[in-house]
């Protein structure tokens, strides 16, 4: 993408997908024996999210960093000391085994993202990081009142302003969908964007998460359509 204009909008866009698949590395297969059903469910990964993110990256011609290892091994969208960075399948492992999982399957992703953001800022860019996720349509009997939600830190004015523009563009492109802000989680909750906000100034780094309802993106054709909608709306929302 081109350097930012006088408007101060981001000049460098990076996509990530922390929960892109449900792969179990060979050395941990025994922990998940007989657990295909849970691995295939929304607990194992963000159904449809990687297809959406890859389509967006291709339409926008921007870099993407993603993982296809199940979040039940280690959750890339949690701090390394969070209670839920490990799941019930891995929490009980010995400390050195958990450390090995962090070193092999967690830190490389987080560090690659941080390094790319650092390099873009050093080149004089304002960075927009979009983390692409999906959420289950219904959790514990509660039907979620969203189709595509944008999550950001309400204390960061540039993020709020960008999400206003992004959502207005989404509404122009596909007015029949529901686009709440900060649902079903808050953008300032623990997560990769929150960690990066603690490292970079609000003028340097904007971290937005996109939550797509999984029922919308189960099939490849649906993932492409939602990826197109998001890419086109982001581009027009940014004014380019």
By CB under 5 A, name the binding residues for Zn ion: 19, 46, 133
Residues whose CB falls within 8 Å of the CB of residue 129, separated by 6 or more in sequence, listed in order: 13, 14, 15, 16, 113, 117, 193, 196, 205, 206, 207, 208
Cα distances (angstroms) measured from residue 80 to each of 76, 99, 123, 152: 9, 10, 29, 21
Kindly report the number of other CB atoms within 10 A of residue 174's CB atom.
Answer: 17
Q: How far is the CB of 139 from Zn ion (least distance, A)?
A: 13
Of residues 133 and 224, the one with the C-beta less far from Zn ion: 133
Of residues 202 and 215, the one with the C-beta less far from Zn ion: 215
Q: How far is the CB of 213 from Zn ion (least distance, A)?
A: 13
Helix (H, G, I), strand (E, B) or coil at 50: helix
Q: How far is the CB of 67 from Zn ion (least distance, A)?
A: 10
Structure tokens at 71: 């979040």
Q: How many CA atoms lie within 13 A of 104 on its CB side?
A: 13
- State the residue for tokens 């219904």: 138
Q: How far is the CB of 75 from Zn ion (least distance, A)?
A: 9
Q: How far is the CB of 8 from Zn ion (least distance, A)?
A: 29
Residues forming a β-bridge with 66: 17
Of residues 18 and 153, the one with the C-beta less far from Zn ion: 18
Of residues 9 and 49, the one with the C-beta less far from Zn ion: 49
Of residues 104 and 136, the one with the C-beta less far from Zn ion: 136
Q: How far is the CB of 212 from Zn ion (least distance, A)?
A: 10
Cα distances (angstroms) measured from residue 133 to each of 7, 32, 158, 240: 28, 23, 21, 25
Of residues 19 and 197, the one with the C-beta less far from Zn ion: 19
Q: Which residue is nearest to Zn ion (CB)?
A: 133
Cα distances (angstroms) measured from residue 22 to each of 35, 128, 206, 215, 225: 11, 27, 28, 18, 23
């Amino acid at each position: 993408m081109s350097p930012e204009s006088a408007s101060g909008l981001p000049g460098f866009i990076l996509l990530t997908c922390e929960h892109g698949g449900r792969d179990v590395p060979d050395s941990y297969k025994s922990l998940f024996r007989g657990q295909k059903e849970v691995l295939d469910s929304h607990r194992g990964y963000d159904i449809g999210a990687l297809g959406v993110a890859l389509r967006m990256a291709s339409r926008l011609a921007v870099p993407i960093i993603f993982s296809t290892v199940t979040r039940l091994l280690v959750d890339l969208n949690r701090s390394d000391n969070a209670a839920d960075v490990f799941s019930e399948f891995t929490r009980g492992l010995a400390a050195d085994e958990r450390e090995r999982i962090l070193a092999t399957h967690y830190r490389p992703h987080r560090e690659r993202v941080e390094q790319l953001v650092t390099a873009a800022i050093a080149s004089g860019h304002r960075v927009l990081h979009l983390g692409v996720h999906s959420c289950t349509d219904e959790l514990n009997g509660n039907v979620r009142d969203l189709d595509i939600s944008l999550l950001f830190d309400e204390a960061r004015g540039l993020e709020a302003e960008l999400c206003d523009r992004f959502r207005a563009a989404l509404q122009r492109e596909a007015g029949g969908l529901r686009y709440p802000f900060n649902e079903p989680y808050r953008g300032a909750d623990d997560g990769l964007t929150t960690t990066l906000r603690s490292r970079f100034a609000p003028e340097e780094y904007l971290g937005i998460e996109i939550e797509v309802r999984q029922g919308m993106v189960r099939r490849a054709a649906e993932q492409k359509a939602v990826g197109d909608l998001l890419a086109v709306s982001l581009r027009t929302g940014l004014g380019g």
